Structure 1
Amino acid sequence: MSLRELINGEKRKIHKLDLNEIEKSNKNFYEAVNEEDYNLKVEAIKESILEIGLINPITVFKKENGKYEIISGHTRYNAVLQLSESGLIDSKIECIIQENFDEESHLKQIIESNIQRQKNEETNKIEFDFFEKEYEKLVQENRRPEGKKDDWIAKKLGISSRTVRRRRHHFNQDANDNQSNSITSNEVDMKKLIKKAIKILEKIRKNEDEIEREFNVDEINSMIELINILKNKVE
Structure 2
Amino acid sequence: MNRLKAKAVVFICEREVREVEFGSFNVFAQFRALGWEAVLNCYDKDIKNVFMDEIQEWMATLKCNKYDRPSQMKLTGEVNGIKVEMSFDTQRKLAKYDDLPARDYTIPSLDDLLIKPESHPRCDKQEVRYPEIPVLYSLLHGSPRFPIRYLIMNHIWICRNKVGRSVIRYCRIITRLLKQFKAITSEDRGAPKRHKPFDIRRKGVGWTYDESERYHKLKSKGQ
TM-score using structure 1 length:
0.20
RCO comparison, higher one (Cα < 8 Å, 6+): 2
The structure that has the greater radius of gyration is 1
Structure having the larger proportion of residues in helix: 1
TM-score using structure 2 length:
0.21
